[in-house]
Amino acid sequence: MEDAVSENAGAQAPLLVAIDGPAGSGKSSVSRAAAERLGFGILDTGAAYRALAWAALETGTDLDDPAAVEGLMNLWAYDITLQGEQRVTVGLVGASPIDVTPAIREHSVSGQVSRVSKHPAVRERLNAMFLDIVAGSGLPGVVIEGRDITTVVAPDAPVRILMTASPEIRATRRAGELPGMTHAQVLADIEARDAKDALVVDFLNPAPGVTLVDTSDLDFEQSVQAVIDIVRAVQGAAEKS
| Structural domain containing residue 206 | 156-241
Residues 178-203 have pLDDT tens digits of 777 888 888 988 888 777 777 666 77
Q: Known binder of ligand: residue 29?
A: yes
Q: Known binder of ligand: residue 102?
A: no
Same domain, 195 and 122: no
136 pLDDT above the threshold of 70: yes
Q: Buried (b) or exposed (e) across 211-220, using 16+ Cβ within 10 A? A: bebbbeebee
What is the CATH classification number for the domain harbouring 186? 3.40.50.300
Q: Known binder of ligand: residue 22?
A: yes
First-to-last C-alpha distance (Å) of the chain? 32
Structurally, how many domains does the chain consist of?
Answer: 2
**Residues for the chain: how many in total?**
241
Residues 26-53 have pLDDT tens digits of 889 999 999 999 999 999 999 999 999 9
Q: Known binder of ligand: residue 21?
A: yes
Residue 47, in any domain of the structure:
yes
Cα 3 to Cα 1: distance, rounded to the nearest angstrom: 5
Which of 109, 139, 169 marks a domain boundary? 139
Neighbours of 140 (CB within 10 A): 14
Residue 167, in any domain of the structure:
yes
Same domain, 170 and 228: yes
Residue 135, in any domain of the structure:
yes
Q: Known binder of ligand: residue 216?
A: no
Percentage of the chain lying above the pLDDT 90 cut: 63
Give the least confident one: 39-53, 56-70, 110-124, 222-236: 110-124
Same domain, 177 and 121: no
* Amino acid 146: pLDDT: 86
Q: Known binder of ligand: residue 28?
A: yes
For residue 196, give every residue at least 6 positions away whose Cβ sits within 8 Å of its Cβ, in sequence order, or none.
none
Residue 45, in any domain of the structure:
yes
Q: Known binder of ligand: residue 118?
A: no
- Dihedral sign computed on CA atoms, order 31, 37, 43, 47: positive
* Amino acid 192: pLDDT: 83
What's the rounded mean pLDDT across residues 141-146? 95
* Amino acid 1: pLDDT: 41
Residue 32, in any domain of the structure:
no
Residues 102-124 have pLDDT tens digits of 999 898 898 899 899 989 999 99
Residue 15, in any domain of the structure:
no
Same domain, 130 and 160: no
101 pLDDT above the threshold of 70: yes
Q: Known binder of ligand: residue 24?
A: yes
Same domain, 160 and 199: yes
Residue 59, in any domain of the structure:
yes
Same domain, 49 and 115: yes
